[in-house]
Structures are given as structure tokens and as C-alpha cells.
Structure 1
């Protein structure tokens, strides 16, 4: 007879690997920072638009200026001050405490919801700074880019190390996928499920605040850089990127409670995979289009502008309406009378509306928006479309992880569900 959940060990040993195990984890751990730096050297004003990525980077690392810029003291001070600001804002700004899903030990993690207020405060302060000192004063992200990369990377490493060490504390709840006993793999995938400092849950805090808000602040800084270069104005292409990405960031901050049911929060441990993704990758890779337009201004004209707005509007409509259907249903509401099946566990799975068209319609909206964010950069520099390709691969991988987890969770009910909703992301295609 198998042991009951009560008698089962709290932190069972991980018996299967993702990302091809320790070798794959090591490759990603080294590859993500390398690629982040390489994207900068492969897409800047001194590199031809069609230049190859890695030769540009290899040439750059032989430059003395590159090694000096890696340890930019001013960038480190500014980045760590920014992170401190986010923590202080989390602590002092009002916000409701929300109960998350039940953990394996029977407890509930509680999260303070005030990311939207933090974002508004940060954007307001940045706006006031620009008004007071001029747009030329807010170009420091462009000027100290490599130093900011190093600062964000150092914070990512520190937090991943802290999370790994936290798993050694008595009573720590480890992630089911991060307790393999292999240091390299567990450091990357995340050993501790919810590392905390006091009541601050580091994983959920990083998900929206220091990286996501910084992404939009960097976009604003890139617009200031462009305005400095072309006489105090910005192009229609830069305006589109600002509006599109700003809307996405504000929407995510406003809907903060939605993340507490996502796999990143409920299942994954917090390790280097999440820390480097939140703190380095999101703000400094997702802003690639704005940085390109800062030194390569493009005027689209009204026809192309309207067309790109239409593409983004379609993507955002799918993304937001699909997520709204899901969140309303999870909260016990069903205003559209959507159809669903009930599993043996008692869980209900939607089989109509957006969620009857594909298993992840919100991912389809994400991919369409990603394309709209890159279209304003034109087609001279293929690297500005890196985000679209990367995001598509990421979402497919995430879908496959979710499918595997749901198959284990729901068993034959998941097979029944997949017959009703056969398409994974794109209806009638994938």
C-alpha cells in the first residue's frame, strides 16, 4: 500500500530532470548571461545591422573598454538603489494581503499586492525627474548599459545562492523539481519553493517589480536618448513601442493577483532560472526594440502605424479576454455560461470560449503582441525580432511543461480534456 500524503516525506528526492539535466542546466546558466551581453554587442550603433551576433561579441571582448564597462560603479549603485526602492515601496505602500494556493505542508503563502502602486510611483518619479532636469538627464541606461547588465547579473547570482542555501534550513519546503542533490541543477532550477526574508516572498516579488517596472523605465530612457539625438522629439515607431510595452507592463502590475496561480509561483522553485529571468533577461532583452530605435530612428507614417496598432490590438484583445475568462471562472464566476468538464479531483477545466479554441489562447495573444513590438523597428536589423522567436520557443516549452504536469495531476481526465480541446496554442495549427 502506498503511503498517504500525511505519511509521505515533505521533501522527496527529485528523480527526473528537465533541461537535459545538469549539463543542460549548466549550459543555460552560462548561456543566458553570455547571450544578454552578446545581444548588446550584436545590436548597437557601431555594429552593421546584418552583422553576425557572436563575432561582434567576440571582437568586443578584446576591447579594454569592454572590461572596464563590466564593472561600472555608477551603474551598480543605481541598480542596487533601484532594487532597494522596490523593497521599500513594497513595505510602506498600502496593499492587501492575498492568500495563495495551499502548499504541500498544508500552509498557505501570503502575498502583499501593491505592484501597481509601486509602478505608478516609479513612473511618476521618473516623469518628475525628466520634467525637472530635462530628457537629456534620463539617458543613463543607454550610456551605462553593460554596467547595468553586470549589476543585474550579480543580483541574480546572489539571490539564487541565497535561495539554494535557504533549503538547508530546518523545515524548509523544497520544490519537487529542485531536490535532486546535484548542486548545479538545483542551483539553476530552484531548490527552495518560497525563499523569504521576513514576510517578503522573494519569488513573487521579483516576478513583477524590479525587472518588469525597470523594463518600462528603460524604454522611457531609450526614448529620451532618441529625443536627445533628433532634437527633442521621438519618432512614431518609438512611441508605438512605448505605448505597447507600457500597456503590457501596467496591465501585468494591475492584475498582480493573477500570478499567484501560475506554475512559476505554485510549483517551480526559486533558483537562477527565475532570478536571472526576472532581473536580467526581462528588462534588458525585452527592451531591445526601444534601444535599437534610440540610435536608429524610424518614421513609419500613418499607414504602417495604424497597421501595427491593429496587430497589437488583436494580440492584446486575445491575451486579456482569455485571461479574464480564466480568472473569472477560477473565482467562481461564469458570466458567459462557458462549458467545462469536472475532473475526479473536483477541478473544473474550461472547454468553450477562448479556452475551447486552444489550451493556451493567452499564449497566442502574447506571440502576436511580441510581433507588434518588433514591427516598428523595420526589417534592417533581424536581431530586433529575437524576442519574437525566443518568446515563441519559451511559450511552447512552457506549454509542454504544463501538459506534463496536468497529465500527472488529472490522469485520464486530461486525456478526455485534450480530445475536447486538441490544439495547444494556435487553433487549427498547433
Structure 2
């Protein structure tokens, strides 16, 4: 089965951000990742803050995040107010000591190791053997084109069915996959430790054995560890980002939702609030894997190198945080009633549909080179030219019709509404179950700015023209 990077060579450009083509039109030099050249002209204090202070603080603080979510759920009854009171009474350092050394259960046997290793081997096995269409990602500034096998949907369906079958088998012997809930703190500890080691390995690999020419160092080891030294690393022909982002992060999210729902059923029987929340989350994750080839063209893949920033997020933050609503509902069951349950499900499914159609419109226009209809009309498109570092001229189609004519990131709105819908079954006793939707609003708002910056550098005046056609970032007429 073919798994490789198609490398296209060309003369390296001499550090210019804009290049004139044959017709005299100024083209932007495509930009996808951090470069030393991008720091030229920045004040020293800004470079110190961006490349030392921010990475250091995030690497220092983030390992505690998932643990604090677990602790809030298990020891503070899902209340951030109680968590804050604990820190007020004990001081922050004493409180963290209490959590890490007196409350957390450090692995006493190999069970949690076996669970994580077993799932990882299962995921890699399916990545290798499942058939799928060969798809290409966007061309990189170095002229490389990442190639993927689009088998994510098959992987997710087979994995979820296998979990159901495993549950039936284990129940015959008095066991249950819900042991993951019972020992979730041990799993989070193992993932935290592994992510640090894995990111160190990726840092060294990018320096001494990169998978493609899209690699390099900023000269700052701390920043390189945080941001990464490779854009598309591969290990034994396995794409690292596909594994961390999709086969581990997104799939484990779905598995945890199902396992937490199982634990709720074992404790309380059928609870409609858990069913509604789990159903909408699993529907969204299923949609994600159906559309996985499109995800390979998003900013997470195109811009972010494989370093601590993205790998810790997928290996630790997604499992510990994204399924937090289901984690909360295990100990806080709520009876919604059939009418409320159906209404929330309808709103959530409508959000999934709009989000899917928006992504489909963009893919359809690009697949047909603009020769199609969007909302019954010929699409309003802008053909944006840009230049690779090799000197090759490229063209992308920017869509300004359908949902993409309302705002440049309109698809973020249904995604936020969906997250609110699967959080709403927890009602309003605590703010903890709404942590994800609050985080998502901040994340997507920040991402809209990052995307505008990236596209502005990549497309130059074409992006400025596109922004005039579609002036709003996310919310039409407001923002």
C-alpha cells in the first residue's frame, strides 16, 4: 500500500515574500510554518516572549490541565467553585501537591499500560491494512505533497463496533471497559509522561532524520521542542499527524464517550441526558471521519508542525477535556424528558448538517474547478495565485458563495452550536460541562485570526480582494 511523500524539486527562492510572474502580477510566496525569516524586524522582547516565555509557560502548565479536570469531577463534585476554595484554603502549591501526590492514583499494575499500548497497536494495524482512496494534501512551500490513504471512516466504525463486541465478551467474565473511567487518572498520567518523551523523539528526528524537506530549526531548542522540527513526520511510513490527531485523539474521544455512557448505564440505567450528549458527540465524530480527507487540508495539518503544541494536545488534551461533558454526566445524571431530548437532538443534528454542507460546498467547487452550482447558482470564486519556495506558481480557488459568502469561517458557527447542544443536557448546576464550548469559542476565534494571517501571507493581494468580497470573519454583519 502506497504511503509516501511526493517530492517536487525546484530552485530555492532567495528570501522574498513576493515574486513577479510573467504577466507582472505580484504573487505571494506560500507560507505554511515558522521560519527564521519571519522573525526579521520583530522587537527583541517580542521574539523573547513568543519563542521562550509562551512555550515555557505552556509546557509547564498544560500537564496539569487534564488532571485538574479529573480532580474537579471526582473530588469537587464537578464544581470549579469548590476547586477554587480548595486552592484558597491550602494555597496553590499545596493544592497541587495534594492533587498530584495524595489524590492521584499512580499506576500500580500494568493494566492501563496494556490498554493504551493495545489500542495504539490496534490503530496502527488498521492504518496499515484498511483499504482507502489515495488522497493528496495541499502542496507545501518546499514543493512536497503529502499523500494519505483515506481509511479513517472504516477505522472508526470498526473500532466502535469492536468496543461493543469487547463489552459483551468482558461482561461474560464479570469485567467491563468502564474500568477506563474508574482508572482514568492513571491513564492521564501515563499519557502525560509519554507525550513528553514522544515530543522529544520527534524533535530529534526532525533534526537528524527528517521525512521531507519541510523541516528545520529556529535555533532555539525550547521553541523547536514546542513547535516541532517537521511539518509532516513519518515513522516506518506511518504519518505521525494522522495517528496523533485522528487515530488517537479523535477516535479516543469517541471511545471515551461510549465508555462513560456505559459507566452511566451500569450505575443509573438509561439516562436520557447522557444518551443525547453521547449521541450528538458520536454523530459529530462520525462526520469528522467521513470527511477526514478534508481535515488534511485544514490549518491544523497545513501550518502546525508536529511538536508539543499539537502532539500533547491530541494525545492528552483531547482525551482529558473533549469528553468532559460525558465524564461529568456519569455522576450528575439529569432527566430531560422526551420533548427536550428530541429538541436538543434536532438542533444538534441540524448544526452537523450545516457544518457538513459548508465543507462539502468548498470541496465540490475545488473538485469541479468551479464548474458546479452552489445554492442553484454558479459559484462566485476567486482564483488566487501564489508562489512556492521552489519558484513554482500555484493556484487555489477561494469560494465566496453559499455558506462561504456569508463569512470566511461561517462553518465555525454550527460547530459551536453543536458543542452547546451536547453540553446543554447537563443543565446549569455547574459550569464545568460548558468548559469545552467556552474553549471552542476562544479556539475558533483565535484560529480565524491565524487563518487570515496565513492566507494573507500566502495569497497576498488576492486574499485582500477576497476579504473585500467576504468582509466578515465568522458572524455575518457582526464579526
Return the TM-score normalized by structure 1: 0.91
**Match of residue 338 from structure 1:** 379
Q: CA separation of 1:102/1:415 partners in 2, compared to 1, >3 Å: closer, same or farther?
A: closer
Which range moves more in the overlay, 15-24 or 85-94? 15-24
Distance in 2 between residues matched to 1:202 and 1:54, nearest whole Å: 38
Q: CA separation of 1:215/1:171 partners in 2, compared to 1, >3 Å: closer, same or farther?
A: closer
**Match of residue 12 from structure 2:** 6
Question: Superposed, which structure 2 residues align to 1:268-283 within 5 Å?
Answer: 268-283=304-319
Q: CA deviation at 1:46?
A: 4.9
Q: CA deviation at 1:327?
A: 1.1
Which of 139, 151, 162 is residue 201 of structure 2 equivalent to?
A: 162
**Match of residue 220 from structure 1:** 258
**Match of residue 157 from structure 2:** 120
Q: CA deviation at 1:170?
A: 5.8
Unaligned runs of 5+ in 1: none
1:424 matched to 2:469: no
Q: CA deviation at 1:172?
A: 5.5
**Match of residue 362 from structure 1:** 411
Moved over 6 A (4+): none
Q: CA separation of 1:281/1:356 partners in 2, compared to 1, >3 Å: closer, same or farther?
A: same
Note the alpha carbon deviations across 1:162-189, whole angstroms, 9 max, x for none.
Answer: 221112226664657x732111111111
Q: CA deviation at 1:369?
A: 0.8
Distance in 1 between residues matched to 2:415 and 2:153, nearest whole Å: 20
**Match of residue 314 from structure 1:** 350
**Match of residue 145 from structure 1:** 184
* Structure 2 SS opposite 1:97: strand
Return the TM-score normalized by structure 2: 0.82
**Match of residue 351 from structure 1:** 400
Bigger-Rg structure (1/2):
2
Q: CA separation of 1:11/1:33 partners in 2, compared to 1, >3 Å: closer, same or farther?
A: closer
Between 1 and 2, higher relative CO (CA 8 Å, sep ≥ 6) is seen in 2
Distance in 1 between residues matched to 2:128 and 2:74, nearest whole Å: 38
Distance in 1 between residues matched to 2:385 and 2:125, nearest whole Å: 45
Distance in 2 between residues matched to 1:325 and 1:319, nearest whole Å: 10
Note the alpha carbon deviations across 1:349-391, whole angstroms, 9 max, x for none.
Answer: 1112100001011111111111111101111110111101111
Which of 234, 239, 249 is residue 270 of structure 2 equivalent to?
A: 234
**Match of residue 44 from structure 2:** none
Question: Superposed, which structure 2 residues align to 1:80-119 within 5 Å?
Answer: 80-119=117-156
* Structure 2 SS opposite 1:368: helix
Distance in 1 between residues matched to 2:230 and 2:220, nearest whole Å: 14
Q: CA deviation at 1:280?
A: 1.1
Distance in 2 between residues matched to 1:12 and 1:241, nearest whole Å: 42
Q: CA deviation at 1:131?
A: 2.1
Q: CA deviation at 1:15?
A: 3.6
Contact 1:164–1:191 under 8 Å retained in 2: yes
Unaligned runs of 5+ in 2: 1-9, 16-32, 40-46, 387-394
Note the alpha carbon deviations across 1:401-423, whole angstroms, 9 max, x for none.
Answer: 11011111122222221121111
Q: CA deviation at 1:261?
A: 1.2
Which of 317, 322, 341 is residue 305 of structure 1 equivalent to?
A: 341
Q: CA deviation at 1:19?
A: 7.9
Contact 1:14–1:180 under 8 Å retained in 2: no
Q: CA separation of 1:162/1:204 partners in 2, compared to 1, >3 Å: closer, same or farther?
A: same
**Match of residue 131 from structure 1:** 168
Which of 282, 291, 294 is residue 246 of structure 1 equivalent to?
A: 282
* Structure 1 SS opposite 2:12: coil
Distance in 1 between residues matched to 2:78 and 2:313, nearest whole Å: 28
Contact 2:136–2:145 under 8 Å retained in 1: yes
Contact 1:319–1:365 under 8 Å retained in 2: yes
Note the alpha carbon deviations across 1:17-51, whole angstroms, 9 max, x for none.
Answer: 69833211121222222111111111236536353
1:47 matched to 2:77: yes
Distance in 1 between residues matched to 2:96 and 2:276, nearest whole Å: 31
Note the alpha carbon deviations across 1:235-282, whole angstroms, 9 max, x for none.
Answer: 111111111011111111122211221122223210011111111111
* Structure 2 SS opposite 1:361: coil
Q: CA separation of 1:115/1:172 partners in 2, compared to 1, >3 Å: closer, same or farther?
A: closer
Q: CA deviation at 1:67?
A: 4.5
Question: Superposed, which structure 2 residues align to 1:191-206 within 5 Å?
Answer: 191-206=229-244
Contact 1:11–1:173 under 8 Å retained in 2: no
Contact 1:36–1:281 under 8 Å retained in 2: yes
Distance in 2 between residues matched to 1:71 and 1:103, nearest whole Å: 46
Q: CA deviation at 1:204?
A: 2.2
* Structure 1 SS opposite 2:106: helix
